[in-house]
Amino acid sequence: MSRVVLLLKLALLIVTPACSQQPAAPPPPPLSADAVQQLRDERLPPAVTQGDVALLDQAFRTLHPAVYRYNTPEAWARRVDSLRQWFAEPRTRGEAYLAFAHLTASLQCSHTYMSFWNQPMPVHRWLTDGEDKIPFEYALTPADRWVVTRSAAAAVLPGDTVVAVNGVPTERIVAQLLPYLRGDGEDNGKRRALLDFRHRKQYEAIDVFLPLLLPPRDGQYAVTLRRGGRE
C-alpha cells in the first residue's frame, strides 16, 4: 500500500448555507491563541464540577422520560457515583466536557447530548473556533476509513483515503469517538452518521471531539494517506 505521511496545518472549513434569506452577520473574530490556551489549561475545582454532576443527575432522574430505558436505577447510580469520584480532583474544561458527554451518551437517546451549540460563549468559541480542526472533509466508509471529499490542504486531495491520524488508525479513532456520541439504543447507525464529516452543519461532532481525544502536536496533525484509494 502506498502511503504518504503529511503534517497538516489546521483549519476549520465553514460552509455557508445557500438558502439563507438574509446576509449572515460576520462571524466574531476567533479567540486568540493565548485565550484558547488559557481556557484549555484552567482546571475547574471539584466544588464546581461535582455540583454540576448533582444537578445533571437530578435533572435526568426527574425530567428525562427514558433515563432508565437502557440503565437500571442501580447502574445509573453507579455511573453518577463514579463520575462524582473522578471529579474529586480538579479537571480541565476539555476533560469535564468529555466526562459529561460520556455520561449523557450512556442514556442512548439521540435527542440528549452535550450540545456545543448552547455553551457559554467562551466555551462555545473554544470548542468550535479553536485552530485545532482537520482541514478536510471526508466520507466514512464501512471499514471506518475516511475518504476525502473536500480539502483546504493542498497536499490532501479529494479521493484520497485517510488511514491514520497521528499514527492512530482511523478505525480506532472511530471506536474511541462512538461512546461520546448520541444515538438510540445500541445501534450505532446514528453515531456513525455523525462521524460522516461533510459539514451539513456549520460544525460537526468531529470538530469538537477529535481535538479533545486526539489533540494536534505543535499545531499539526500527522495524516497517513492512501493516494486516490490505490494500494
Which 8-state DSSP code applies to residue 217? Answer: B
Q: How confident is the model at residue 13 (pLDDT cuts 50, 70, 90)?
A: very low
173 or 35: whose pLDDT is higher? 173
Say if residue 59's pLDDT is above 70: yes
Distance, in Å, from the CA atom of 134 to the CA atom of 12, rounded to the nearest integer, reads: 7
Residues in contact with 141: Cβ distance below 8 Å, sequence separation at least 6, in sequence order: 147, 161
C-alpha cell at 101: 458527554
Residues in the chain: 231
- Which of these, 80, 103, 92, lies nearest to 48 by C-alpha position? 92
- Which of these, 58, 127, 125, lies nearest to 97 by C-alpha position? 127
Distance, in Å, from the CA atom of 159 to the CA atom of 43, rounded to the nearest integer, reads: 41
**In this predicted model, what pLDDT tens digit does every residue of 21-32 receive, in sequence order?**
455 556 566 667
Give this prediction's pTM: 0.81
Q: What DSSP assignment string belongs to 98-117?
A: HHHHHHHHTT--TT----SS
Instruction: Give the C-alpha distances (Å, rounded to integers) separating 43 from 2, 35, 125, 184.
Output: 43, 14, 18, 33
Distance, in Å, from the CA atom of 71 to the CA atom of 106, rounded to the nearest integer, reads: 8
**In this predicted model, what pLDDT tens digit does every residue of 155-175 receive, in sequence order?**
899 999 999 999 999 999 999
- Residue 70: strand, helix, or coil: coil
Distance, in Å, from the CA atom of 44 to the CA atom of 114, rounded to the nearest integer, reads: 18
